[in-house]
Structure 1
Amino acid sequence: MKNKNGFSRRNFIRQTSLGLGAGIAGVTIPSCDTAVQNENSRLPREVTVAGIDLRGLWPDTTRESRIKRILQRMELVTGIKPDIICLPELFDTIWVSEQYKISEVAESEEIPGPVAQRIGEFAGKNNCYVVCPVYTKKGGYYFNSSLLIDRKGKIAGAYNKIHPVKTEIIPSGPTDDVGITPGALDQPAIETDFGKVGMQICYDANWIDGWENCKNKGAEIILFPSAFPGGRILNHYAERFGCYIISSTGQDARIIDMSGNDIDSSSTFVRYSWAKISLEKVNTCTWPTNEKIPEIFRKYGSRLEIKVRDNTSIITIASLDSGIKVKDIVSEFGL
């Protein structure tokens, strides 16, 4: 149909649709599909990490409902082919109205229990590690723990929360038939096929000792399952200890670079965070590294990424070439 000026509504819609399609074709829309990349574009020691938040999943009525819903949310990130996914603290029981006893739901740190087994099935199916935070029991003691499930669905290691809150230590609620024992101060980093990882849980954010121990044990990534989001203290720890932090909490999920900056975070519309990170990266002091920068640039040029941050007196050096190891750069130039 045409109007008196010869304007065709049908042609306008058709042409506009084609133009809109062409416009969209030229725009990169962030999604899990962006994870499908040419192998040649991979960063050195590249690891794809993800965190899940609990927003929209609480309050819940039963543990079974919560577990099913968290698995559904985990499915959302499978398109990025994650190497590791972090889940929130005690995700199967926190803010669930169903009555349960801690002694009844606590699982083994070594052999997957009912919850860890289901998370393990997901891990095996999707060839990824998963941080599975649950109550555990060992030698008559009960812990607020994070189990690291490996790519085959087995338990690769466990971390026990060092600083439980008062109401965890002293049974106070209808479900708290036992108290939570604080974890050991000296806990090992856990080996994965991409490097060592450490873990901290919720209230641990208020003490530096556990984070420092993770760094001293060689952890390059620290996983932080929590009820509360942690806030800026996590950014400080990432920069101070030169490691990545992956948080998964009741309110948000974040990926924090060793520079102390957020790489990605969940939102009202996307309830997970994810990023491809490179472990060939190191923080160095501005002085005397700044004196070596011209020489480093002359030799390696665009094969390295060098970021100088005057306000923190830190220089971050990252390899962009699989043939270059940052430890060799540090050694070569005496950084």
Structure 2
Amino acid sequence: MKPSKISRRNFLGNASLGAGAFGLPGYFSEAESIKSGDSVPRQVNIGTVSIMDIAASDTPDMIQKVLGIMDNIVPYKPDIICLPEIFAYANIANHHYQLKDVAEKVPGAVVTSFLNFARTHNCYVICPTYSLHEGNIYISAALINRQGKVAGEYYKMRPAESELKMGITPGKGNPPVFETDFGKIGIQICFDIKYDEGWNALKDKGAQIIFWPSAYAGGQEISSRAWRHQVYIVTSTQKDTSKICDITGETIAQTGRWQRNWICAPVNLEKAFIPTWPAVSRFPDIQKKYGPKLRLTTFSEEEWTIMESIDAGLKIADVLKEFNLKSMHETLKELSAAHENAGKKT
């Protein structure tokens, strides 16, 4: 199969006119959502919680209120639900506590409360808490699996100054990636958003979804992280919006005025983020072969393209290999290595 010949100069000229200039069916200049009825090979139903305007009398009361919020998500058959940072100790009037009195050896009082939910509803749960480990206290997030067992923990790497003064220990670098039955996921917590190392490490390890329990919503910081690292980001917050962010940085779903405390939406993990140039020369051949089984969505000004399988039998990795294409992440890693090698020669 011969690749179509599209020069870099012609590509740039046509791109300024919008994707329609290529005359390629299914080649869009704007992102579009998965259409109802499409067969998606790796669809994950993600739920997330905000405790905006949820007040409680004490920690057990807050736990019960959060479990009540989660009950609303159950009809959507979630694969995973994320809860906010240290939610069990937030939004509680006149609640003063010492870390040494509430930090738990996971699973302790807070995490144990969600084991049965995960098992009963056959879903993963990300449950943040204060964690006691080897004499240190961390802000952590425990991953509970579908069997109601703790599959692992992430310790917040970059606590805020006030948290350090409270006695919180920063987690070590090199955050873990967790293997789930739908793919690899990672976790960052609140102020971790300000630093690159955790996000870079999770991307390098193959995380496709990064969950971000937080005290605040993050806004454009979240969108920026999503497209820079080409991962889905799921936020769960103590205030304002919780949201699910696409790998393009666009919002898939979020809480708001009319539904303040939970959302659940599907994402498709059979999706790749690739540089439009020079891959664009192969688009006609790809579309001729796969037609409606695959969607190409191009962002003209950014010159990136999202390749998405919408057929249960088609894996994006196979398409990339077949047409000798690389993801944006792979392309930039190889280019960085070339820069280093070039620098050594001078």
Which one scores higher on RCO, CA 8 angstroms, separation ≥ 6?
Answer: 2
- Tell me how far apart the structure 1 counterparts of residues 38 and 214 of structure 2 sit (CA, whole Å): 33
- Tell me how far apart the structure 2 counterparts of residues 155 and 120 of structure 1 sit (CA, whole Å): 8
Counterparts of 1:204-283 in structure 2, within 5 Å, are 204-250=192-238, 251-270=240-259, 271-283=261-273
Unpaired segments of 5 or more residues in structure 2?
Answer: 1-35, 326-346
What is the TM-score when the length of structure 2 is the normalising length? 0.81
Q: Which residue of 1 aligns with 2:66?
A: 70
Q: What displacement does 1:81 show?
A: 0.6
The CA RMSD over aligned residues, in Å, is 1.4
2:105 corresponds to 1:115:
no
- Tell me how far apart the structure 1 counterparts of residues 101 and 148 of structure 2 sit (CA, whole Å): 23
Give the SS at the match of 1:77. helix
- Tell me how far apart the structure 1 counterparts of residues 218 and 301 of structure 2 sit (CA, whole Å): 23
2:164 corresponds to 1:166:
no
Alignment-mate amino acid for residue 261 of structure 1? E
Q: What displacement does 1:195 show?
A: 0.9
What is the TM-score when the length of structure 1 is the normalising length? 0.83
Q: What displacement does 1:41 show?
A: 4.9
Summarize the Cα distance change of 1:156–1:42 in structure 2 as closer, same or farther, 3 Å threshold: farther
Q: What displacement does 1:42 show?
A: 4.2
CA contact (8 A) 2:140 2:154 kept: yes
Unpaired segments of 5 or more residues in structure 1?
Answer: 1-37, 172-178
Q: Which residue of 2 aligns with 1:50?
A: 47
Deviations 1:245-279 (A, max 9, x none): 11111221101111111000011221212211111
Q: Which residue of 1 aligns with 2:75?
A: 79
CA contact (8 A) 1:224 1:246 kept: yes
Give the SS at the match of 1:301. helix
Alignment-mate amino acid for residue 232 of structure 2? Y
- Tell me how far apart the structure 1 counterparts of residues 86 and 302 of structure 2 sit (CA, whole Å): 35
Q: Greater CA radius of gyration, 1 or 2?
A: 1
Deviations 1:67-101 (A, max 9, x none): 11111011110010100001000010023232322
CA contact (8 A) 1:54 1:252 kept: no
Give the SS at the match of 1:228. coil
- Tell me how far apart the structure 1 counterparts of residues 138 and 39 of structure 2 sit (CA, whole Å): 39
- Tell me how far apart the structure 1 counterparts of residues 76 and 151 of structure 2 sit (CA, whole Å): 23
Counterparts of 1:1-335 in structure 2, within 5 Å, are 41-58=38-55, 60-96=56-92, 97-109=94-106, 112-171=107-166, 179-250=167-238, 251-270=240-259, 271-335=261-325
- What is the aligned length? 287
Give the SS at the match of 2:104. coil
Counting aligned pairs with the same residue, the percent is 37
Alignment-mate amino acid for residue 230 of structure 1? G
Q: What displacement does 1:46 show?
A: 1.0
Give the SS at the match of 2:87. coil
- Tell me how far apart the structure 1 counterparts of residues 274 and 90 of structure 2 sit (CA, whole Å): 40
- Tell me how far apart the structure 1 counterparts of residues 97 and 302 of structure 2 sit (CA, whole Å): 48
Alignment-mate amino acid for residue 55 of structure 1? M
CA contact (8 A) 1:117 1:153 kept: no
